[in-house]
Structure 1
Amino acid sequence: MLKAVIFDMDGVLLDSEPFWARAQMQVFGALGRPMSQADCDATMGIRIDQLVALRYPDLVNPPSQEEVVNHIVDEVNRLIRSEGTPKEGLDHAMALIRDQGLTIGLATSSPMAMVHNVLETLGIAHHFSALHSAEVERFGKPHPDVYLHAAEKLGVAPEACLAIEDSFNGLLAAKAARMQALIIPDPALRGDPRLAIADLKLDSLAQLEAAHLRR
């Protein structure tokens, strides 16, 4: 029986995946590593420091990895503040989950400073009983620790949690944590056969129904 719903952030609460792609293209491009949209799609859901470490050997005269990470994060935060809007159905989903008596948490690969920026921009911080970022974990998604520790903060067994994700890496993390998983795929992943491991697939949060939360 479900007791909690744990949201991913990027691509689930707001359409920030394009912000990450724009920031990567800008920062990596300026450092001699042009990035395509396909390059960005392939690493969706991966923690930014791990992504920078992956791309760093290809950069030309770069600053430190930490500085590259900070440049990307700063640009994404700027875009969130200036252009961030809630995903379709977010208010509906929050109200429905609360009406079902379920606790709400968040498990994200993004840094906690960005989490607070997003929640403040969208005005939804009051809905969440626990927030957890993979920045404090040894491994980010697709490793399950970010979900396991989010559930621990909520005081709920992982098996009693529903994770809501938009990326394949996030979906893998949720399933590895032994959670039920709802996938609302990023447009780049629509039709991807790997998403069949999800327990439920919807096109948007607006389609969430009470029956989906009684599993």
Structure 2
Amino acid sequence: MIEAVIFDMDGVIVDSEPLWLQAKQEAGARFGFTVTEEDGAQTVGLRIDEISQRWVRTKGLDPACADALTEAMIEQVIAQVRQLDEPMAGVRDTLGRLARSPLKVGLASSSPLRLIDAVLERFGLAGHFQVRVSAEHLPLGKPHPQVYLEAAAALAVLPQHCLAIEDSVNGVIAAKAAQMTALCVPEPALYRDQRFGIADLKLASLADFDCPQLRRLLGL
């Protein structure tokens, strides 16, 4: 029985993946290396400091620049988020439906807490989430399940009674490793990616959240 719904943020609540790609490319140019679209795709769902450390290793960077690289990307994305008008399709309706239900609602993201707060403030959504958990200070980010386990504990719900909503393969792996039911809403270009086969459910968009299968699962 599902007692809580836990949202990822990037790619689920806010269409931030294009923002992250731009921020990664601009930071790369600033620090003297090129970030391709493939580089961006390979790092979707990872914690931002882990991305910087990966690039230090693979791009031949001075390890001393890792923190500055991380900060440059975060600040760029926050600045872009503040220019957005709306969250992703279906988010407001989905949160409204959950608010009228007995289900608990949380957020578990690899993004730093100040970016989470910037997104929720921009769209006026903070009141919908009973907890928000960032992986930024955890030993490991997604695809490790710890951020989801922390969110479930904060909601006082067993992980097995949680539905996680994710857009990335790394996020779905994290949710399943936490023993949660996983709903994936991949970006259109990746919708048929066979790696999403580990998810329990798949939707093209949260605009389709009010479907019979989810209504039965959630008791809505």
1:117-156, aligned counterparts within 5 Å?
117-156=118-157
The one-letter code of the counterpart of 1:156 is: V
Shift of 1:30: 2.3
1:112 aligns to 2:113 (yes or no): yes
Cα distance in 2 for residues equivalent to 1:187 and 1:43? 18
The alignment partner of 1:24 has SS state of: helix
Shift of 1:214: 3.6
Q: Deviations over 1:49-100 (max 9, x none)?
A: 0010000142556852111100110001000011353000111101122223
Question: 187-196 or 102-111: which moved more?
Answer: 187-196
1:22-101, aligned counterparts within 5 Å?
22-57=22-57, 58-59=59-60, 64-83=65-84, 85-101=86-102
Aligned-residue Cα RMSD (Å) equals 1.5
The one-letter code of the counterpart of 1:181 is: A
Cα distance in 2 for residues equivalent to 1:197 and 1:63? 38
Shift of 1:162: 0.2
1:9-28, aligned counterparts within 5 Å?
9-28=9-28
Distance 1:188 1:42, change over 3 A: farther
- Alpha-carbon contact 1:14-1:84 (below 8 Å) kept: no
Q: How many residues align?
A: 215
Equivalent residue for 2:160?
159
1:170 aligns to 2:171 (yes or no): yes
Give structure 1 regions of 4+ aligned residues with deviation exceeding 3 angstroms: 59-63
**TM-score with structure 1 setting the length:** 0.95
Cα distance in 2 for residues equivalent to 1:183 and 1:210? 14
The one-letter code of the counterpart of 1:29 is: A
Shift of 1:10: 0.3
**TM-score with structure 2 setting the length:** 0.93
Cα distance in 1 for residues equivalent to 2:132 and 2:31? 33
Distance 1:95 1:145, change over 3 A: same
- Alpha-carbon contact 1:27-1:68 (below 8 Å) kept: yes
Gaps of 5+ in 2: none
Equivalent residue for 1:6?
6
The alignment partner of 1:136 has SS state of: coil
Question: 89-98 or 67-76: which moved more?
Answer: 89-98
The one-letter code of the counterpart of 1:35 is: V
The one-letter code of the counterpart of 1:73 is: I
Cα distance in 2 for residues equivalent to 1:83 and 1:76? 11
Gaps of 5+ in 1: none
